[in-house]
Chain A
């Protein structure tokens, strides 16, 4: 099973700043099959990024993903209050899909 470790656990920033969230995998996996999800309180997760760097439909270009191998990053530019949420990375390159433990972003 591939273990994903996200850092930091909690990130507190101000509106207009940039957030950088990290996701490290215990081993590399198929073709950068990594996704990022946003989960606001009381809501289901929402897909932000797939294939490590492709934005899902309707996601603002303030959100971007990068990385390869075992190191991946989600960057959120020009933070807005509505970006307050928990962000999860997920790998789907292995037959057993796994999630990171999440990073809580406070604006």
Chain B
């Protein structure tokens, strides 16, 4: 199983951060998929996850700004985070759950910087 995050490395304040996680070696239907982020020099923050096409859970601290979705035909998981600020600057990881529990596969992560 391999996960690869992609997307713009620079986003302007107040705009929308959009990332894609492309999955190989597995099928989206069979698992839960999470997004996690890590600000530079800081710890991990769970953003949320998705199961099947639309069952989602989000971190309450981000719930009003975040959307996670999937495209099964492309085997991709998406993250959208609205109204970003500098505090959203982080390395963003996608990861696969084992049966909705722990995270047993992680992507390499992608750095997103929020700056004008």
- A residues engaging B (CB < 8 A)? 1, 33, 35, 37, 39, 44-47, 50-51, 56, 86, 88, 90, 92, 95-102
Residue of B nearest to A86 (CB): B43
A50–B101 CB distance below 8 A = yes
- B residues engaging A (CB < 8 A)? 34, 36, 43-46, 49, 57, 59-60, 93, 97-98, 100-104, 106-109
Complexed CA–CA distance, A90 and B97 (Å): 13
Given contacts A1-B60, A96-B57, A96-B59, contact A47 B44 (CB under 8 A): no
7 pairs, A vs B, C-beta closer than 8 Å? A1-B60, A37-B103, A45-B103, A45-B106, A47-B104, A92-B102, A96-B60
Residue with the highest number of chain A CB atoms closer than 10 Å, among B36, B100, B102, B108 = B102
- 9 extra A-B contacts, CB within 8 A, seeds A92-B97, A96-B46: A33-B102, A44-B93, A45-B44, A50-B104, A56-B104, A86-B43, A90-B103, A92-B101, A99-B46
B45–A99 CB distance below 8 A = yes
A50–B46 CB distance below 8 A = no
Which residues of chain B are near A39, meaning CB under 8 Å?
44
Which residues of chain A are near B103, meaning CB under 8 Å?
35, 37, 45, 47, 90
Closest CB of chain A to B70's CB: distance in Å? Answer: 18
A99–B43 CB distance below 8 A = yes
B102–A100 CB distance below 8 A = no
